[in-house]
Chains A and B, each alone.
Chain A
Amino acid sequence: MAVEKMSIAKALNESLRKALEQDPKVLIMGEDVGKLGGVFRITDGLQKDFGEERVIDTPLAESGIVGTAIGLALRGYRPVVEIQFDGFVFPAYDQIVTQLAKMHARALGKVKMPVVVRIPYAGGIGAVEHHSESPEALFAHVPGLKVVSPSNASDAYWMLQQAILSDDPVIFFEPKRRYWDKGEVDFDAIPGELHKARVSREGSDVTLAAYGPMVKVCLEAAAAAAEEGKSVEVLDLRSMSPVDFDGIQASVEKTRRLVVVHEAPVFLGVGSEVAARITERCFYHLEAPVLRVGGFHAPYPPARLEDEYLPGLDRVLDAVDRSLAY
């Protein structure tokens, strides 16, 4: 059966399995990825089937994980490293920003850096501090890195395949609160381009652009708005570096209104860049300023407050109303 319904977590697991099968140079590295199968079980069973030399339990040291992955890539391997949680990537941030991102340019193109850094990110699971953050803009800002995030099982499977095949370093953000959401994966499909946005729901009055965990919220908002007679288009950006501005522009030229939604703080977030570029590109098409919905300029709150912090249906619909009111 080419098409199978499965969770995002399972789709990621199948994707890693396929990558390990197809290329002996692919390695999985990270804390607890072996016997445990990762704290979210994304690497479940892989060490059992591919051995400790391919699925490598590492010391508890994030800079070491990324730094040694760089060395393995220089030797011709294609490491896929797991950072256990979003807030734990910062000990590795130096290696990612000063080394991984720049090695290809520094070597005048003579070496490639096919390293994937998988990061379960964003909130909504009632976790403690450092386990719910959305640092994607910090990586998207760095030349040399590519940054993507799937929102459904099919993308989880295919985008991870494409990230592993890429000769560039890819920061792969996995929406952890969606890990158990199920969707169809067509294993024989010809996947779309990794960095192209996708229209998840067609509409004509306003465009909601989101990625990762917020795509589902936006689809729910669009369904609710439809009951009020508003036609909302939902665009799944999928990639934060590069951003598919052409795809957003096409949608905005149709709907003439844009609201960008993400969990990360609004200030200097991906939404800020989208708003600025689309204002430049679509100034004469826009009927309203580009609006942004996201997190606050505050540390991610304790779990008992995260429902207030995270953009939900009402905050997204409020922005849709504000956009339509112009």
Chain B
Amino acid sequence: MTVESTAARKPRRSSGTKRAAGAASAAKPAAATAQTQDVVPQLVQLLTPEGDRVDNAENAEFAPFVADITTEDLRGLYRDMVMTRRFDGEATALQRQGELGLWASLLGQEAAQIGSGRALNDEDYVFPTYREHGVAWCRGVDPTNLLGMFRGVNHGGWDPNTNNFHLYTIVIGSQTLHATGYAMGVAKDGADSAVIAYFGDGASSQGDVAEAFTFSAVYNSPVVFFCQNNQWAISEPTERQMRVPLYQRAQGFGFPGVRVDGNDVLACLAVTRWALDRARRGEGPTLVEAFTYRMGAHTTSDDPTKYRRDEETAAWEAKDPILRLKAHLLATGGADEAFFTELEAESEAMGKRVREAVRAMPDPDTMAIFENVYADGHALVDEERAQFAAYLASFEEGH
């Protein structure tokens, strides 16, 4: 496939159709003002911050991908976001209580993760960074498994092939290449599935991400690059990462890029389904930029009050992904108070379970240091294991 033919499949998002007033205001996110850009970024949105459905030129290509979503489905998406936020809040609290060494909160990014995560088929494969707790939820990974590495008992406590959800990757952007290679394998196998790689706005500056774009483009790999642009890479704002809107970068590599309202779960679901559909049809990679906001700190180690303004955070609070869908469900009669009350109780129970599970999590056996260093064994590891075991045993013999 040539660059020209992929570019020709770009969605027509510059048709000049007059947009609804609500969508127009949403198309100019506050935090993008410092970017140097010739083109006002387009933003695919299906639900306004007030919870109203919108139809416009920007979403026309994507809206059909959620035409099948029922009210029950919407309640399910709402539940996913609430449960994920509750889990995330519990983990943050556990870190403050000294039960976890570190936590990377997803607060504010629930719609981006649940929308994209629910777009996936079972056979699709996910390559996350270290903040994809909502995507893990969608894949059926036990939330307590996500806490092992943050508690310091392992470097990833699940079998990636059980849920087609790879281990968290901490080195920024590395996993985009793993996703691309995996997708190259999917294509070789002739499989009817796709791969999705998650990363952030900071990671987009990494060479590995550019190389992943290059490889996926030239091999036409079935991979979706899902960037959650949460506006901050620890203390560095997006204008320290890019001079043009991120989604536009895809064009230079020869595949489509789409900016979606990352706080709109329905739009994230639609755009990701569209991109996955392209991948499965053999039309190659897509870059999705979910325009969102990290409401908390990068991790529990930093202090966002040192690097960003309260007004900025407050402006994004008004776009909260959960409140937005709640408003929509209430306005359309999609859910009643009993639903929200029951969900509250369910999420509390989950929080309690997570809390208890973390506190009960055993430290690994000392000799685990030497386990799984190699698949086929290694003489030096064997020697050092035996020496250390003998050293430890010497204390036992002394009594």
Point out residues on A near B: beta carbons under 8 Å: 53, 58-59, 61, 63-64, 66-77, 91, 94-95, 98-99, 102, 104-113, 143-144, 146, 166-168, 195, 241-246
Q: Is the CB of B156 within 8 A of A64?
A: no
B344 at the interface (CB under 8 A from A): no
Q: Is the CB of A72 within 8 A of B379?
A: no
Q: Is the CB of B167 within 8 A of A63?
A: no
Q: Is the CB of B178 within 8 A of A70?
A: yes
| List of B residues within 8 angstroms of A102 by Cβ | 155
Q: Which of B186, B208, B371 contacts A67 (CB 8 A)?
A: B208
For residue A24, which residue of chain B has the nearest CB?
B188
| List of B residues within 8 angstroms of A113 by Cβ | 375
Q: Which of B155, B161, B171, B376 contacts A105 (CB 8 A)?
A: B155
Chain A nearest Cβ from B156, distance in angstroms: 5
Whether A104 touches B160, Cβ cut-off 8 Å, given contacts A63-B177, A67-B212, A70-B181, is no
Chain B nearest Cβ from A252, distance in angstroms: 17
Chain A nearest Cβ from B288, distance in angstroms: 19
B76 at the interface (CB under 8 A from A): no
Sample of 20 further A-B pairs with CB below 8 A, known A67-B178, A71-B181, A104-B372:
A59-B214, A64-B177, A64-B215, A67-B208, A68-B184, A70-B178, A70-B181, A71-B184, A71-B185, A73-B181, A77-B188, A99-B169, A104-B373, A105-B372, A107-B159, A107-B167, A112-B375, A113-B375, A241-B378, A242-B379
B31 at the interface (CB under 8 A from A): no
Q: Which of B182, B218, B376 contacts A71 (CB 8 A)?
A: B182
Q: Mark B113-141, 1 if CB is under 8 A from A, else 0.
A: 00000000000000100000000000000
Whether A106 touches B174, Cβ cut-off 8 Å, given contacts A64-B215, A75-B181, A76-B185, is no
Q: Which of B174, B179, B375, B376 contacts A95 (CB 8 A)?
A: B174
| List of B residues within 8 angstroms of A243 by Cβ | 379-380
Complex Cα–Cα for A168 and B375 (A): 6
- Size bracket, chain B contacts: 35 or more
Complex Cα–Cα for A68 and B181 (A): 4
Chain B nearest Cβ from A69, distance in angstroms: 6
Closest A-B pairs by Cβ, 6 of them:
A71-B181, A67-B177, A75-B185, A68-B181, A64-B211, A167-B375
Complex Cα–Cα for A76 and B186 (A): 10
| List of B residues within 8 angstroms of A64 by Cβ | 177, 180, 208, 211-212, 214-215
* Residues in B192-239 with C-beta less than 8 Å from chain A: 207-208, 211-212, 214-215, 218
For residue B185, which residue of chain A has the nearest CB?
A75
Q: Which of A53, A59, A74 contacts B178 (CB 8 A)?
A: A74
Q: Is the CB of B372 within 8 A of A58?
A: no
B157 at the interface (CB under 8 A from A): yes
B319 at the interface (CB under 8 A from A): no
Chain A nearest Cβ from B142, distance in angstroms: 15
Chain A nearest Cβ from B181, distance in angstroms: 2
Complex Cα–Cα for A70 and B127 (A): 12
B374 at the interface (CB under 8 A from A): yes
Q: Is the CB of B181 within 8 A of A74?
A: yes
Complex Cα–Cα for A58 and B166 (A): 24
Q: Which of B161, B218, B372, B374 contacts A146 (CB 8 A)?
A: B374
What would 28 A/B residue contacts be, using CB atoms closer than 8 Å? A58-B215, A63-B207, A63-B208, A64-B212, A67-B177, A67-B181, A67-B208, A68-B177, A68-B180, A71-B127, A71-B184, A73-B181, A74-B178, A75-B182, A94-B208, A95-B174, A98-B171, A98-B174, A104-B372, A104-B374, A106-B156, A108-B154, A113-B375, A143-B373, A166-B376, A168-B374, A195-B379, A246-B379
* Residues in B140-177 with C-beta less than 8 Å from chain A: 154-157, 159-161, 166-167, 169, 171, 174, 176-177
Complex Cα–Cα for A98 and B155 (A): 12
| List of A residues within 8 angstroms of B207 by Cβ | 63, 91
| List of A residues within 8 angstroms of B208 by Cβ | 63-64, 67, 94-95
